[in-house]
Amino acid sequence: MSDTITLTATVRTDVGKGASRRLRRLEDKVPAIIYGGEAEPQKLTLSGNDILKASQSEAFYSQILDVSVDGQIQPAVIRDLQRNPANGRVQHIDFQRVSADKEINVNVPLHFINEAACVGVKMSGGTLTHNLTEVEITCLPANLPEFIEVDMLEVEAGTSVHLSDLVLPEGVTVVALTFGEDRDIPVASVTARRGASEDVADNAEAAAEEGEAQAADDEGGED
């Protein structure tokens, strides 16, 4: 588990679109809001540089953050994040408070391992495709994984790894699977090399012809 990311925020009293634009352009600040739990929603302001630095970490988007509001720590997760389409800088963040005894739904990243050694790729020349890069899970905050590994080692050409194949930590559930088996979609697939089926058929035909020729030779030797 990575170290907890702490963000320092102050309560924002100057609200409205004009105020938000001034914060971003003149003060390099990021407007935000934190809500949920038993406390009232609070409009916040955070340092643009702090957000830029924190956002370089994968954990920023999927893990529980410590949002320090005027010195008071409020554990929260990001529920929405808006970026400037021109430069990619964060323009607004929605935080949701979390409680230790209440389950949360969070999208966590998938880490694919053993791709180079994948049987379907290495032995059969298949092509590996990532169908998903993250998965929505539900769990208590204490059980929230930093990521979920997807082991591709034994995946053969023409087959897929589905949501139900994921190895999950204790107390973690994939949200999609709670809605039925038809939601058990592929996470990653290994597509068979084009023409592989023809190669198999050709090899089988060649083996059959070789067997027939050998049988004919055997019969000729008996005469």
Residues 118 and 43 placed together within one structural domain of the fold: no
Mean pLDDT to the nearest integer, 140-144: 96
Q: Token pair of 57, please?
A: 């970490």
Residues 171 and 129 placed together within one structural domain of the fold: yes
181, 177, 100, 165: which is closest to 137 by C-alpha?
A: 177
Q: Rounded to whole angstroms, how far apart are CA atoms 169 and 142? A: 11
Residue 23 host element (H or E):
helix 17-26
Q: Token pair of 45, please?
A: 């302001």
Q: What is the domain range of residue 79?
A: 6-97
* 81 beta partners: 93
Residues 47 and 79 placed together within one structural domain of the fold: yes
Task: Output 22 or 201, whichever has higher pLDDT.
Answer: 22
Q: Looking at the domain assignment, is residue 219 inside a domain? A: no
Q: Looking at the domain assignment, is residue 212 inside a domain? A: no
Residues 66 and 31 placed together within one structural domain of the fold: yes
Q: What is the pLDDT of residues 85-137, one digit of tens each?
A: 988 889 999 999 999 999 999 999 999 999 999 999 999 999 999 999 999 99
E strands, 101-199, are: 104-113, 127-130, 134-139, 148-151, 159-162, 173-174, 186-191
**pTM score, whole prediction:** 0.78
Please report where in the chains the tokens 């204790």 appear, as a residue: 170
Q: Looking at the domain assignment, is residue 137 inside a domain? A: yes
Domain count, the chain: 2
Domain closes at, from 51, 70, 97? 97
Residues 16 and 80 placed together within one structural domain of the fold: yes
Please report where in the chains the tokens 């999950």 appear, as a residue: 168
Residues 124 and 185 placed together within one structural domain of the fold: yes
Quick one: what percent of the chain has pLDDT higher than 90? 71
State phi, psi for 114 to the nearest 5 degrees. 60, 35
Quick one: what percent of the chain has pLDDT higher than 70? 80
Residues 108 and 184 placed together within one structural domain of the fold: yes
Mean pLDDT to the nearest integer, 198-216: 50
Residues 141 and 171 placed together within one structural domain of the fold: yes
Residues 120 and 183 placed together within one structural domain of the fold: yes
CATH number, position 112: 2.170.120.20
Q: Looking at the domain assignment, is residue 69 inside a domain? A: yes
Q: Report whether 150 contacts 129 (CB < 8 A).
A: no
Q: Report whether 192 contacts 200 (CB < 8 A).
A: no
Domain closes at, from 97, 130, 157? 97
pLDDT at 210: 56
pLDDT band at 80 (very low <50, low <70, confident <90, very high): very high
Domain closes at, from 97, 117, 147? 97
106, 1, 11, 105: which is closest to 57 by C-alpha?
A: 1
